[in-house]
Amino acid sequence: MIFYLAPRTVAVAPHITLEEVGADYETRVLDFSTGEQRSDIYLGINPKGRVPALVTDKGVITETPAILLYLAQRYPEADLAPWKDAFQLAKLQEFNAYLCATVHVAHAHRVRGERWADGENALEAMQRKVPHTMRACFQLIADDFFQGPWVMGQSYSLADPYLFTISNWLEGDGVDIRDFPNIADHNRRMRERAAVAKILPFHDI
């Protein structure tokens, strides 16, 4: 497999998971500062012009929740999802969907506001809102989603590298992770995992 990433992006989550499952893969690091993600070569791999993208023997997979689920299913021995419990599997997907569709989008209003609005005033208004929306998102996660010590409870799962990835964005978004002690503790314990330590040099987080 070939894994396309850019530093400090959501690609951190599947990168950790590739290591957790012991996958045989190669990395390709894209340089966003030069617009490499919009090059003809990369658009031929992922027409969205975003990361992550995973090239498999059957084709290309994009979108973080899809890549995570694929890796968990392809490497079931890693035990990263509750396959025998339909309800718990749905709850895992519920959490990852929230990170993807709501929390990531709230963060992107600070760094990718041009996707939704034009004009300096509109972009500045979106950026000013980010600390409020990200704090609200993480308050909900800390109070209602996070079970502890891992997202789903006692078992480490696909939700954990995803939460770790996005919780690292809080400081830049004007939110102190220490305001959410269970999330701060989760971030610390994630950094103790061998898979995380191995991928950190790619991402500088």
The strand pairing partners of 60, in sequence order, are: 55
Domains observed in the chain: 2-79 (3.40.30.10), 86-199 (1.20.1050.10)
Per-residue pLDDT of the chain (205 residues; tens, 9 = 90+): 999 999 999 999 999 999 999 999 999 999 999 999 999 999 999 999 999 999 999 999 999 999 999 999 999 999 999 999 999 999 999 999 999 999 999 999 998 888 899 999 999 999 999 999 999 999 999 999 999 999 999 999 999 999 999 999 999 999 999 999 999 999 999 999 999 999 999 998 8
Could you tell me the pTM of the whole model?
A: 0.96
Please, what is the angle between helix 194-203 and helix 12-20, to 10°? 140
Are residues 20 and 162 in contact, defined by beta-carbon separation less than 8 angstroms?
no
